Amino acid sequence: MKIVGIICIILGLIFLLSAVIPDKPDEPQRGIGVRAIIVLMGVVLTGGGCAFLAIPIYNNLVRSRTIVQQSWADIDVNLKRRYDLIDNLVAIVRGYAAHEKQTLTDIAALRSKASTSSDVANRAANENRLTSALGRLLVIAEAYPDLKASMNFADLSSQLRTTEDRIAAAREAYNAAVTVINILVRRFPDILVAGVCRFQQMPFFRAADSEQVAPHPTF
């Protein structure tokens, strides 16, 4: 399709150039009607060639954006599962360490803020803060033997560990997809189609600077 597009553009430009070049005195003179037809053919061929080039670029941009959206959906599903696990984990810790009220309150507030974040960048920042607070909670659990011995706590900790691994994998896939589309919308000639069709760069979902991931407790 790209080759066809290039050929059409070249032919179109040839027609347009031929329409504006004056006829030689010793050759039959072309009337206005003939020149108009040549210009029209040139415009059609050039426009058609541009369309042939633009269609695969547009389809590729749509495909790349869809992959980003699907990857984000995977992250969102696992984050929501993490919220549920954190709620249950906090409830269990509260039963064994009620006087750790401030830490538990902070986690609840951060969990609520993370789940209601309006965009990817804010959500990533809030998720990192929640991860840090969760790490403090698991450290606190070390000081309570009865809590560590709880089967429910151990089961939730194991599920949380699995969920964190899934989030990390989904984040990696999402960021890879974002890298692809961000390159496309800045690359020529894709940038022309991206500008007309309003494709924009998409934000990364970054972990903390220290590549912090929620601790993997071994209770």
Give domain status of residue 49, yes or no: no
Greater model confidence, 175 or 119: 175
Tell me whether residue 72 is in a domain: yes
pLDDT at 215 over 70: no
Domain annotation covers residue 182: yes
Q: Are 107 and 137 a contacting pair, CB within 8 Å?
A: yes
Band of the pLDDT at 203, cuts 50, 70, 90?
A: very high
Q: At residue 218, does pLDDT exceed 60?
A: no
CATH value at residue 190 = 1.20.1440.20
| Spatial contact of 38 and 155, defined as CB atoms under 8 Å apart | no
Confidence at residue 170, expressed as pLDDT on a 0 to 100 scale: 93
Q: Average pLDDT for residues 43-52, to the nearest whole number?
A: 81
For 117: left if phi > 0, alpha if psi spans -120 to 50, otherwise beta; the answer is beta
Report how far residue 22's alpha carbon sits from residue 5's, in angstroms, rounded to the nearest whole number. Answer: 28
pTM, whole model, 2 decimals? 0.75
* pLDDT score of 77: 93
Q: Residues 96-140: pLDDT tens digits?
A: 776 777 888 888 888 888 888 878 888 888 888 888 888 888 887
Mean pLDDT to the nearest integer, 163-192: 92
7-16, 80-89, 100-109: the lowest-pLDDT one = 7-16
Inside any domain, residue 16: no
Instruction: Give the pLDDT score at 25.
Output: 67
What is the structure's pLDDT at 213?
45
Residue 48 in any domain: the answer is no
> Does a structural domain hold residue 50?
no
Confidence of residue 145 (pLDDT cuts 50, 70, 90): confident
CA neighbours closer than 13 Å in the CB half-sphere of residue 188: 0
Q: Which of 78-82, 95-99, 106-110, 164-168 has the lowest mean pLDDT?
A: 95-99
Greatest distance between any 2 Cα atoms in the chain: 107
Indicate the pLDDT class of residue 27, thresholds 50, 70 and 90. Answer: low
155 part of a folded domain: yes
Once rounded to an integer, what is the mean pLDDT over residues 1-5?
Answer: 68
Q: Does residue 103 lie in a domain region?
A: yes
User: How many Cβ atoms from other residues are within 10 Å of residue 37's Cβ?
Assistant: 14
Instruction: State the average pLDDT for the chain.
Output: 83
Domain count, the chain: 1
Q: How much is the pLDDT for 202?
A: 93
Residue 8: pLDDT over 80: no
Identify the pLDDT of residue 42: 78
- Domain range holding 122? 56-196
- Nearest Cα neighbor of 171 from 219, 203, 135 is 203
pLDDT at 72: 93
